[in-house]
Amino acid sequence: MVFQLCREPNEFLKILPLDWQEFLEPFWDEIKPYTACYVMVDAGQILAGGLVFYKCPPDMLYAKSEANKWLELGYKYLGFIFVKEAFRNRNLGSLWLKNLKATFPEQKFWLTIEDFKLDGFYTKNNFKLVKKLNNEGEEEGLYVYEG
């Protein structure tokens, strides 16, 4: 299994849930210049991946000032982290994060989650909940990784 920069991010986007694809599609050409896609590949197949944003991502426009604060502090935003359903429960999400951190050992990251069932996964991977945000009446957790 190989962790790599995805040269064709559209290939990663195709494995995402349809609602994520539909959300990203209108923004993709605009965000592509400041977004990197990293994937886990085995036998030429993308099994997992995620996006690293260097500017405010489209899913954080509701809290743009909060997003810009973290970005200005040097954190990169992680979003749309996904493992294909057939490959879940094999630690691929953790492996993806471990490889990303090893690729950028001095880099700090932040992300948000809507599904608090994922709290255990992110805390296990050394992310800390630092605050809760309100997204149109829905609570989201903002997590940071500081190395």
Full set of structural domains in the chain with CATH:
2-145 (3.40.630.30)
Average pLDDT, integer, range 16-41: 95
Give residue 147's pLDDT: 84
**Predicted confidence band at 48 (pLDDT cuts at 50, 70, 90)?**
very high
pLDDT over 90 (residue 30) = yes
**What are the tens digits of pLDDT across the range 77-86?**
999 999 999 9
pLDDT over 90 (residue 7) = no
**Predicted confidence band at 20 (pLDDT cuts at 50, 70, 90)?**
very high
Other Cβ atoms less than 10 A from the Cβ of 22: the count is 10
Question: Residue 91 carries which side chain, given as an amino acid letter?
Answer: N
Average pLDDT, the chain: 96
